[in-house]
């Protein structure tokens, strides 16, 4: 009787666990390695706000959220749709619901019950979960080099296929530190530089403004850049801006900063009012009132919004001029926040380095999934959706490759 294939998955996040689930269900002997003391740490962090796992919008619209990477993700997303995810969650005794924004959440509104049940299913399918085990590349024979808490030196292990789901380079304290890039680069995989995605930006606030308003929210506001406007919340920080509206524009803003050294985003402090309405409201307030009183009485602007308006430079005094500034406060962004503070990562393994089945062209038998790949998407469920989808796609690619080996046992080819 032919022995089952042995497959190693490196990375215990959503992409890696999704790959392990597919591989073990197909009869492979699967182990999941993770350098952290426990699996799914970034998944749990994502669940602190309710675990927005996907979005309910039509599939074509969902796919468009991945921008230039959408064609490369098409098959994976088509084979693991929003409804597939919701059915999968139900199978783990975690029903879901669609929020008012169209985002999909578990009814428990947290990640821990889903992760707990998921890990239990994997164990029941025979998956070996190995935390505190670090993958350090390959030896000369193509065997994996693994280091654990009790090993003085890396030990070699054979595997028939390898699925890498090590994340990008954001939130390194949760395990995705990007150290794998050097290992792959040494084996001939040309990588795209890591860049922060869904990130805040640095602004050279005055010292007084930064001290007074750091941590203050601005809502509702709308940010616009290059003709695209996004409504949402913005949070003022001591060094710049964060928040959902910023993250939605982060990719375009980052590229402008890289090209020109800075980017200017426009902030509408009253997006629910037209320019004419703002002008009329300001005109009704007595002209001898102070600027702060005019803004509070006429528009109910918060102290933080008034501070931002003053921070933008000389403020017009006429109702029309002041209204125009309120509807488009310019904010100069000097740099994206560091990778360690970003929600997700752009860059990594370029699509040209992979086959359609997510196998590295330079390393037959090695498959990649999740945030290691060079794609980005806004928050709203799209990040987790693609991680789950690519994990499954990489697993299916590994299964197809293994079956084509004619049942023979090969270590990963190098």
Pairing mode, strands 329-333 and 263-268: antiparallel
CA dist 226 to 131, 152, 274, 399, Å? Answer: 45, 55, 20, 44
Average pLDDT taken over every residue of the chain: 94
Separation of alpha carbons 120 and 116, rounded Å? 6
Separation of alpha carbons 60 and 303, rounded Å? 41
Q: What is the predicted pLDDT for the residue at 151?
A: 73
Summarised one tens digit per residue, pLDDT across range 21-53 is 999 999 999 999 999 999 999 999 887 878 999
- The answer for residues whose C-beta is within 8 angstroms of residue 406's C-beta and 6 or more apart is none
Separation of alpha carbons 18 and 345, rounded Å? 20
Average pLDDT over residues 239-262: 96
Average pLDDT over residues 189-196: 96
Beta bridge pairs of residue 162: 8, 366
Summarised one tens digit per residue, pLDDT across range 253-305 is 999 999 999 999 999 999 999 999 999 999 999 878 898 999 999 999 999 99
Summarised one tens digit per residue, pLDDT across range 392-408 is 999 999 999 999 986 55
Domains 6-196+342-403 and 201-336 share a fold: no
Q: What is the predicted pLDDT for the residue at 8?
A: 98
Model confidence band, residue 107 (pLDDT cutoffs 50, 70, 90) = very high
Q: What is the predicted pLDDT for the residue at 412?
A: 56
Q: Where are the domains of the chain?
A: 6-196+342-403, 201-336
Asked if 34 and 175 count as a contact pair (C-beta separation under 8 A), the reply is yes
The count of C-alpha atoms lying within 13 angstroms of the C-alpha of 271, restricted to the half-sphere facing its C-beta, is: 16
Assign domain 6-196+342-403 to its CATH superfamily.
FAD/NAD(P)-binding domain (3.50.50.60)
pTM beyond 0.85: yes
Per-residue pLDDT at 119 exceeds 60: yes
Token pair for 165: 């789901």
Token pair for 135: 């993958």
Which CATH entry fits the domain spanning 201-336: 3.40.1190.20, 3.30.1300.10, 2.40.30.10, 3.40.30.10? 2.40.30.10
Q: What is the predicted pLDDT for the residue at 407?
A: 54
């Amino acid at each position: 009787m032919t022995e089952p294939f042995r497959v190693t998955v490196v990375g215990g996040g959503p992409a890696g666990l999704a790959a392990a689930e597919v591989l073990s269900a197909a009869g492979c002997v699967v182990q999941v390695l993770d350098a952290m003391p426990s699996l799914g740490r970034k998944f749990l962090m994502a669940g602190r706000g309710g675990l927005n796992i996907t979005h309910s919008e039509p599939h074509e619209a969902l796919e468009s959220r991945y921008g230039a990477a959408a064609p490369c993700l098409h098959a994976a997303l088509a084979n693991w749709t929003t409804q597939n995810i919701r059915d999968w969650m139900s199978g783990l005794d975690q029903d879901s619901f669609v929020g008012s924004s169209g985002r999909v959440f578990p009814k428990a509104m947290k990640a821990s019950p889903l992760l707990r049940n998921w890990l239990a299913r994997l164990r029941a399918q025979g998956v070996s979960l190995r935390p505190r085990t670090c993958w350090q590349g390959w030896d000369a024979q193509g065997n994996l080099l693994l280091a654990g808490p009790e090993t003085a030196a890396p030990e070699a292990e054979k595997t028939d296929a390898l699925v890498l789901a090590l994340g990008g380079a954001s939130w390194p304290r949760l395990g995705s530190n990007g150290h794998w890039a050097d290992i792959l680069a040494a084996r001939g995989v040309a990588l795209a530089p890591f860049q922060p995605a869904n990130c805040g930006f640095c602004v050279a606030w005055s010292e007084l403004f930064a001290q007074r308003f750091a941590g203050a929210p601005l809502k509702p506001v709308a940010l616009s850049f290059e003709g695209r406007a996004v409504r949402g919340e913005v949070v003022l920080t001591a060094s710049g801006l964060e928040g959902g509206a910023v993250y939605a524009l982060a990719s375009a803003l980052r590229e402008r900063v890289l090209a020109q050294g800075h980017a200017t985003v426009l902030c509408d402090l009253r997006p629910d009012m037209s320019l004419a309405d703002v002008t009329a409201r300001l005109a009704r307030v007595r002209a001898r009132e102070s600027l702060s009183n005019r803004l509070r009485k006429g528009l109910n602007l918060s102290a933080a919004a008034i501070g931002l308006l003053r921070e933008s430079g000389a403020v017009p005094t006429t109702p029309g001029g002041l209204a125009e500034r309120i509807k488009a406060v310019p904010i100069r962004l000097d740099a994206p926040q560091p990778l360690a503070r970003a929600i997700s990562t752009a860059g990594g393994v370029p699509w040209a380095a992979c086959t359609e089945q997510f196998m590295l062209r330079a390393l037959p038998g090695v498959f990649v999934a999740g945030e290691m790949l060079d794609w980005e998407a806004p928050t709203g469920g799209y990040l987790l959706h693609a991680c789950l989808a690519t994990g499954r796609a990489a697993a299916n690619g590994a299964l197809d490759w293994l079956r084509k080996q004619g049942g023979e046992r090969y270590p990963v080819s190098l």
